[in-house]
Amino acid sequence: MKIVAIVLLILAAIIGAAMFWLSGNIDVLVKYAVAEYGSAMTQAKVSVDAVKIAPADGKGTISNLVIGNPAGFKTAHAIKVGQIDVDIDIASVARDVIVIRRIAIIAPDVIYEKGDAMTNFDAIQKNIASYLGPADSKKEGKKLIVEEFTIRDAKAQASAAFMNGKTVNVSLPDITLKNLGKAKGGISPGELGQEIAGALKAKLTAAVSFDRLMKSTGEALDKAGTAVKGLFK
């Protein structure tokens, strides 16, 4: 019994040390994961300036996240956001499934660009799917459950290949998703990215008609051309 007690004490000490290490380094771990795995999954440059998460309660912020565009697109980025509020269940960090109580993306700058073959969000989803592969659910690694995900007060823009990187403003309703991954007992970061990108693309598709955009831009160019010609009468 004494041996068992000693073993249990050693295990408790190891777990305690691991939790202390995770708590002290969680900012670095999250920042690294967002930039490195985000870039690998989307095949676009993903950067983040800072991560601050309180070890006591798991609440914090991610500052200045930028998700660039995959190759072939002309606009500056897909998403740029100054502040993301997060609330992580710190006790779950050491488990196989990490529970994130809330992710709130506040006032992001979203650019929806239609290229020659697909939109930038189509390309991002395709790249994530390629990264995951057909057997992703069988891969080892941490899984995630996100109890609430929101995007609010977004500034959205649309662009198309013929616009050469120029954009027009469009309205984008707020987005709220609940219990992501809960039904499956947790999903991979890639699967989470797929669900979020899909929800965002659905809202953008409803908000933007590229046919109307092309027609209105063409009409504006025709009017501008007529006005310029008038100067030389």
> Residue 225 — very low, low, confident or very high, per pLDDT cuts 50/70/90?
very low
> Which value, to the nearest 10 degrees, does the dihedral of the CA atoms of residues 89, 94, 98, 102 take?
20
| Whether pLDDT at 226 is above 50 | no
What tens digit of pLDDT does each residue of 69-101 get?
999 999 999 999 999 999 999 888 878 899 999
* Inter-CA distances, 9 with 3, 92, 146, Å: 10, 21, 33
Mean pLDDT of the chain: 80
Mean pLDDT, rounded, for 203-220: 65
Domain interval for residue 122: 2-230
* Confidence bin at 9 (pLDDT 50/70/90): low
Tell which residue, 99, 93, 87, has the closest CA to residue 187: 99
Q: Tell the residue number behind the tokens 């027609």, with chain if given.
A: 215
The domain total for the chain is: 1
The pLDDT value given to residue 91: 85
pLDDT reading at 224 higher than 50: no
44, 68, 119, 176, 214 from 71: Cα distances, Å: 7, 9, 12, 29, 23
If DSSP codes are grouped into helix, strand and coil, which group holds residue 178?
Answer: strand
pLDDT, residue 25, reads 72
Residues in contact with 172: Cβ distance below 8 Å, sequence separation at least 6, in sequence order: 110, 154, 155, 156, 203, 204, 207
Lowest mean pLDDT among 89-93, 97-101, 149-153, 227-231: 227-231
Percent helix, strand and coil across the chain, each to the nearest 5: 45, 30, 25
pLDDT exceeds cutoff 80 at 144:
yes
Q: What is the pTM of this model?
A: 0.76
